[in-house]
Structures are given as structure tokens and as C-alpha cells.
Amino acid sequence: MANVRSTYTDKLQFFGNNTPQELVQRFGSPLYVYNENILRTRCRDLKNLSTHPKYNVNYSAKANTNIHLLRIIHQEGCVIDAMSPGELYMDQQAGFTSDEILYISNNISSEEMMNAIQAGVLMSVDSLSQLEQYGRLNPGGRVMVRFNPGIGAGHHKKVITAGKETKFGVTPDNMPEVLRIIAQYRLHFAGLNQHIGSLFMTPEGYLEAAAFLLSLAETLPAEILHKLEVIDFGGGFGIPYHKYEGEAPLDIETLATGLHALMTEWADRTGYTGRFLTEPGRYIAAECGILLGTTHCVKNNGDNRYAGTDLGFNVLVRPAMYDSFHDVEIYREQPATDGPLMEQSIVGNICESGDIIAKKRLLPEIHEGDIIGMLDAGAYGYVMSSPYNQRLRPAEVLIDAQGNAHLIRRRESLADLMAGYETPGNGAASR
Ligand SMILES: *Cc1c(COP(=O)(O)O)cnc(C)c1O
């Protein structure tokens, strides 16, 4: 093959027995492609963080809810979270049983809360008012409380700067009130969880926050502490998005050593017999996914060079929404003399000036017809896609362990754009 820039995927044999060009010819463009081996490896990386018998990985389903990926993650022995009735439904469809699902709720209605209670899944609430609501709906039930370690924990500076999300969690100073509501509704205080924010690249902040959660749990009365079932340290495990600059991955070994020591020492000291969870989304799903697109136009506007593609922000919104960086590969069958790198922006086909998926990158010259690969698109990619501009959501393909490609979700059709409309009654149509 004579690709222009593909050393990363070549080394991994990411596309298995296929070339990106063949995949686009067979399944169309744009196209999300997932590699099963990489997905399984990422699950195992985090499952191997600790050999503590009660440690497990609670995959955060919002990163990617494709049913086929969920089934693989289930096969790998992970459990899963849900943050909405839709995620709960998909978790169940993928085969997760009610005791393998943790419902992490945030400002939900009584109906939604009741739906999860009736599904028999353990729920975490993230405010005193939602704890009260839970107590009223399900007196005597099991419930977890999500804490926000940032506030009132001055010695956890790194945690605070690591991304305190003020909307979330109960601050630790509210513990007496938590215990009062628990007692009032005879609830079983089943566990504590937290999530300090997303995309950390060094272990220290996470370990510090984990130690904080354990020290908070230790302040609980002994009769509660000894009946706790779950301590969930949250997600946020980062991945190196700057592949071609050689960005270092997260130091999993240091994280593993630290976390394992924290959990085992604490469980030994306190007599805790419940489970420990980490809750990664991105780390599991990001690197197994690449978004392929096609270049339809190249042009210069003044000093700016643009490669115009079908990779609009309806397909991958992270760059437009968060200014996120995804590395780029370029695939072309014709042998090409690469020539010098030049500054180019890769843009999509959405009618907005912010529709830029890769801004002012130094890349080999992109030609019309080139296939573009956006790396690390498996997390917060398809799940955040939309039919904006009435552009159809792309198809999704899985490269299995033998390197063969399978369509796992079809491309949307024009008929999908008409699905869901009702004919207004009572002459509303003529109003
Ligand atoms: C989003 C989220 C996660 C996963 O975050 P990542 O950065 O993808 O690992 C975990 N827990 C909660 C509560 C979340 O909201």
C-alpha cells in the first residue's frame, strides 16, 4: 500500500484484512470503524489494575453505546453504568443483568427514578433532594450517594484543578444530612461514588481523590461502613490524542500499583468486604475507533489551505464543541511523492464556519479523493453525532479478531429522517 500517513494504524494492523479505501468502497463514507482486539485490550488494561477479588471495571456507557461493543465489553467481564433510561435499556439489551448495572443519576424525575428502581438496579443519587426523592419512592431501598470531593477538601488541590464539576455530587460537609435522610427512610446506604472529571494523563490526582473517597467512607458509623457494597472511584482515564507527536499514554502501571495498594490496605484495615469500581468511558472506547471520511475538494482561501470532506461536525462534534484534537491519517492508493508538509485545515460539509475537524495542521498535501482517518474517535464520537443539516448518521463497522470487517450498524437512510413524524389532527395542518 502507498498511504501517505498511516504508520500508526499500519503498526497496529488496525484495519485487519482491509484497507481503509476498501472499507469506504464497501460500506460508504463517512464510516466509523472499530477494532475488536483493541477494545478487548483496553478492557483488560483496566481490569488488570488490581487483583483485588472485589475490584472491577464499570464501563461508562455514554462514551459509546453501540450494542455490539457493549456485548464485547460484557464478555470481557466488565460491569456497566447507565445515566438515562435509554442507556439502561441498551445495557439490558447487551445482556448486562440488573446486578451488573449501576444507575448514576443526575437531576432525574420521579418517573425516571422509579423506572430504574423497578429494573432492580442499584442507583447513585447526587443531591440531598434526590436522596429524599429516592427515600419517598423506595423506602427501605438500597442507594448510593455521589460525593464531590473538590469542595471542602483544600488539601486536594490537584483534584480541584483536575476538573471539579460543581453541578455534581454532594459535598462531604453534608454527610450528617445524608445520614439523617438515610435513617428517616430506613434506606440501606449501599455505597459512595465520585467522578473527578475527564481525561487525566497522570495518576496522582486520581489516586489522591481515591484516597479522599476512602477517608470519607471511613468517617461513616461502623454499622454503615461494614454494610457498604460499592466504592466507585469514577472515570476520567485519559488517552494520548497526539499520536504523531509521540504523546505518552497514561502510566497504567503506577496507577495500578497505587490503586491496588490503597484498596487492599483500606479493606484490610476497615474490614470492608464490598466491591471497588473504576468507571472509565473514554479509555475503553476511544482508541478502538477511527472515523473515515473522503476528501471532495481542496482549495486555498487567501493563505489558508482547506481540505473539504464529508466529516462535518454532525459526524464527530468534539473538535467543534470542545476544541478537541484528533490526530489525522491520510490514505491514498496512488504512490505519492509526499513533498513538504504544509499547513492545512480539514473541514466538513455543514453550512457553518465552525465546521472544522482539524485546524491548521502540518500534514502532507491532501488531494481530492484521499481518505481521511480521524484517530481515537471511538469515544464520544457516534454517540454525539446528529442529523444536523439533515445529513445521515454514518454506518459503523467492526474489524473482528481475525481481521474481517462486519457492518454492525447501517447508515441512516432518508426514510429515517421522516420516521417519527405524526400527521397533526383537528385541522392543525391547515392552521
Ligand atoms: C462521563 C462519566 C464517566 C466516564 O468518563 P470518561 O472521561 O469517559 O472516563 C464516568 N463516570 C461518570 C459519573 C461520568 O459522568
Using CA atoms, how far apart are residues 87 and 103, in angstroms rounded to an integer?
Answer: 9
CB 5 within 8 A of CB 329: yes
Ligand 1 centroid – CA 196 distance (Å) = 9
Pocket-testing residue among 43, 49, 62, ligand 1, by greatest number of atoms within 8 A of Cβ: 62
* Single-letter residue type at 114: M
The whole-number pLDDT of residue 25 equals: 98
The residue nearest atom 10 of ligand 1, judged by CA position, is 235
CB 293 within 8 A of CB 329: no
- What pLDDT, in 10s, does the model give residues 151-160? 434 444 444 4
- Based on its alpha-carbon atoms, the radius of gyration of the chain, rounded to whole angstroms, reads 24
Ligand 1 pocket, residues with Cβ under 6 angstroms: 60, 62-63, 104, 195, 198-199, 234-237, 279-283
Candidates 34, 30, 4, 5; CA nearest to 18 is 34
Q: How many CB atoms lie within 10 A of CB 238?
A: 18
Torsion of CA 117, 218, 180, 115, to 10 degrees: -10
- What pLDDT, in 10s, does the model give residues 5-34? 999 999 999 999 999 999 999 999 999 999
The whole-number pLDDT of residue 129 equals: 97
Kindly give the number of the ligand 1 atom that is closest to the alpha carbon of 281.
8
CB 368 within 8 A of CB 298: yes
DSSP string, 402-423: TS-EEEEEPPP-HHHHHTT---
| pTM of structure | 0.95
Ligand 1 centroid – CA 63 distance (Å) = 8
Kindly give the number of the ligand 1 atom that is closest to the alpha carbon of 197.
7
The whole-number pLDDT of residue 335 equals: 62
The residue nearest atom 13 of ligand 1, judged by CA position, is 195
Kindly give the number of the ligand 1 atom that is closest to the alpha carbon of 279.
10
255 contact partners, CB below 8 Å, separation of at least 6: 49, 203, 206, 207
Pocket-testing residue among 83, 104, 195, 376, ligand 1, by greatest number of atoms within 8 A of Cβ: 195
The residue nearest atom 7 of ligand 1, judged by CA position, is 236
Q: How many CB atoms lie within 10 A of CB 73?
A: 24
Q: Spell out a b/e string for 309-348, using b for 16 or more CB atoms within 10 Å of the CB, else e.
A: bbbbbbbbbbbbeeeebbbbbbbbeeeeeeeeeeebbbbb
Using CA atoms, how far apart are residues 273 and 265, in angstroms rounded to an integer?
Answer: 12
Ligand 1 centroid – CA 270 distance (Å) = 28
Q: How many CB atoms lie within 10 A of CB 93?
A: 12
Ligand 1 centroid – CA 140 distance (Å) = 29
Kindly give the number of the ligand 1 atom that is closest to the alpha carbon of 379.
8
Using CA atoms, how far apart are residues 161 and 279, in angstroms rounded to an integer?
Answer: 20
Q: Which residues are designated catalytic?
A: 351
The residue nearest atom 3 of ligand 1, judged by CA position, is 235
Beta bridge partners of 59: 80
User: How far is the first Cα of the chain from the last one, in angstroms, to the nearest whole number?
Assistant: 61
DSSP string, 186-219: T-EEEEEE----S-B-SSHHHHHHHHHHHHHHHT
Pocket-testing residue among 277, 279, 318, ligand 1, by greatest number of atoms within 8 A of Cβ: 279
393's grid cell: 448518521
Kindly give the number of the ligand 1 atom that is closest to the alpha carbon of 104.
13
CB 83 within 8 A of CB 104: yes
SS3 call for 260: helix
DSSP string, 286-332: STTEEEEEEEEEEEEETTEEEEEES--TTT--HHHHH-----EEEE-
Show pLDDT as tens, one digit a residue, over the chain (431 residues): 468 999 999 999 999 999 999 999 999 999 999 999 999 999 999 999 999 999 999 999 999 999 999 999 999 999 999 999 999 999 999 999 999 999 999 999 999 999 999 999 999 999 999 999 999 999 999 999 999 987 434 444 444 433 455 678 999 999 999 999 999 999 999 999 999 887 899 999 999 999 999 999 999 999 999 999 999 999 999 999 999 999 999 999 999 999 999 999 999 999 999 999 999 999 999 999 999 999 999 999 999 999 999 999 999 999 999 999 999 999 998 766 667 899 999 999 999 999 999 999 999 999 999 999 999 999 999 999 999 999 999 999 999 999 999 999 999 999 999 999 999 986 655 55
Beta bridge partners of 363: 342
H or E element at residue 230: strand 230-232
Ligand 1 centroid – CA 428 distance (Å) = 44
The whole-number pLDDT of residue 428 equals: 59
The residue nearest atom 12 of ligand 1, judged by CA position, is 195
Ligand 1 centroid – CA 284 distance (Å) = 11
Using CA atoms, how far apart are residues 41 and 200, in angstroms rounded to an integer?
Answer: 20
Kindly give the number of the ligand 1 atom that is closest to the alpha carbon of 282.
8
Candidates 371, 367, 361; CA nearest to 341 is 361
Ligand 1 centroid – CA 119 distance (Å) = 22
Ligand 1 centroid – CA 347 distance (Å) = 29
The residue nearest atom 15 of ligand 1, judged by CA position, is 195
The whole-number pLDDT of residue 159 equals: 41
